[in-house]
Structure 1
């Protein structure tokens, strides 16, 4: 049994938060050593068993760009055979129409597209301009909606770009609004290189509110490069955000961020929310155990502070 923090609620914060688990996709996509499909499937099953309400499973991206996720169809076919409709509810990333077609063929219900808030990252990551990326997303989003799916929109580089530096808040809002206008249901605003600070978070959420986009349409996706992820979560909570992305064990990170320490760890977020008395539905022991197990599969310790504090040996 793990230790748990003393619960001291803070007035004015949301009483319940949704954790959007991205470890199986965002966490593993940059791993250089190939992770077997059966290990990925077990990872997803364990994350679901830990009570995480949303587990993003994979990405239907071309294997040339992300070799680690070349087994997306095999993974989802196997999970569907085992879990049935529960597997069809798992979100997947679809970078374009071809990716969406594969998700439709498998009967999946939730997809995501990945946009950029900056010109340079759009060019390097999508081979598009900031403007022309929407020409790629428009038919994909329309087709997904026509197939009865819902669509999430990731927006990267919302708080800073390694080539362009500071990113104007109004530019991020403009990109987000375009995606919402195309039919995206929720925006995940990504601090891709981990440079956000609390005031910046509050400013961006307020700017979306001024543009008519409420907190219920927004999620926040933090990296812990400079140790600010939980401080930024707190700022998001104060601003009314109730969905936060996290990665079990702190797996993953942006390859463009110097010394990036990866995504906000699910365990660190769970510990933080538990201490504030905010409901999240996640079993901390189970997710710590899952991350210890995955660390064993990957052959290195988890970067999560809570996993290091509570975790035992890989098993």
Structure 2
């Protein structure tokens, strides 16, 4: 099936998963969540975001969280930085990995960044340059890479051009985001083929239409070896009705195990962690694997 021997799971639950929670999760709970996730074998766990507290109150405690975090050896904890001020705060907290969040469409760039598509690159250029100069690893998320709630289907050429402009800024990795979960396997392979090489690409799927695992398999067959996912399926999509959130890490691990692809993560420990977090959030995990394994 032309599959990779090993896949890097880029865990986004603590940041992307929790950012939509209405009730503020205590720092101590977030720190323990990160510690538990590291104990499962995950090596890349996005911890938080240095976005302005006004926009995402849930992540207003970013500096306090990183100060409280007991970092496990060999585990990276990237943080999202929306602009230079966010980068300043991240550097003050001693981070080694950062991510920026760009848009593949004009509509979302204006609504989410208050910038045009062209203006977003001007905003990100000094962020990437300064981060690289400080020795940081830099990722870029490219949202609305498959569909946009205001513009509909997004042309492959438009997404590829946006991605190339981000690579030109100096990023190390680009994560292609199916923000509203409308992607299909054929479209995934078409988009990946539009880039010169799949090696610096990652994929970030939402399961709104139940296609996240199928899309992931298509990406793996196209050469991608880094997959974003969220423990317990935490997170949602505020741009589409009935969105079921991020691809659950447990569901991803179950599929990778079935394909014989190495990833280094303990499924049992992961399920236990997601059940623990679901109890603190007061609702069951939407992950099918968590549901099956915790009720058996």
TM-score when normalising by structure 2: 0.98
Residue 257 (structure 1) shift = 1.7
Instruction: Quote the residue 1:69 is aligned against.
Output: 59
Instruction: State the SS of the aligned residue for 2:199.
Output: helix
Instruction: Quote the residue 1:240 is aligned against.
Output: 223
C-alpha separation between the residues in 1 aligned to 2:43 and 2:71?
15
C-alpha separation between the residues in 2 aligned to 1:220 and 1:101?
27
* Alignment map for 1:1-315 (pairs within 5 Å): 11-79=1-69, 82-83=70-71, 89-208=76-195, 212=196, 214-312=197-295
What is the number of equivalent residue pairs in this alignment?
296
Instruction: State the SS of the aligned residue for 1:64.
Output: coil
C-alpha separation between the residues in 2 aligned to 1:86 and 1:28?
24
C-alpha separation between the residues in 2 aligned to 1:115 and 1:306?
31
Query: How large is the RMSD of aligned CA atoms in angstroms?
Result: 1.2
User: Which 10-residue stretch deviates more, 303-312 or 272-281?
Assistant: 303-312
Residue 84 (structure 1) shift = 7.4
C-alpha separation between the residues in 2 aligned to 1:102 and 1:172?
30
Q: 1:296 and 1:93, CA in 2 relative to 1: closer, same or farther beyond 3 A? A: same
Point out where structure 1 has 5 or more consecutive residues left out of the alignment.
Answer: 1-10
Instruction: State the SS of the aligned residue for 1:132.
Output: helix
Residue 150 (structure 1) shift = 1.1
Instruction: State the SS of the aligned residue for 2:68.
Output: helix
Point out where structure 2 has 5 or more consecutive residues left out of the alignment.
Answer: none
Residue 105 (structure 1) shift = 1.2
Instruction: Quote the residue 1:4 is aligned against.
Output: none
Runs of 4+ in 1 over 4 A off after TM superposition: 84-87
Instruction: State the SS of the aligned residue for 2:117.
Output: coil
Asked if structure 2 preserves the Cα contact closer than 8 Å seen for 1:292 and 1:312, the reply is no
TM-score when normalising by structure 1: 0.92
1:14-51 deviation per Cα after TM superposition (whole angstroms, max 9, x unaligned): 11100000000000001001100000000000010000
Instruction: State the SS of the aligned residue for 1:235.
Output: helix
Residue 86 (structure 1) shift = 5.7
C-alpha separation between the residues in 2 aligned to 1:280 and 1:84?
18
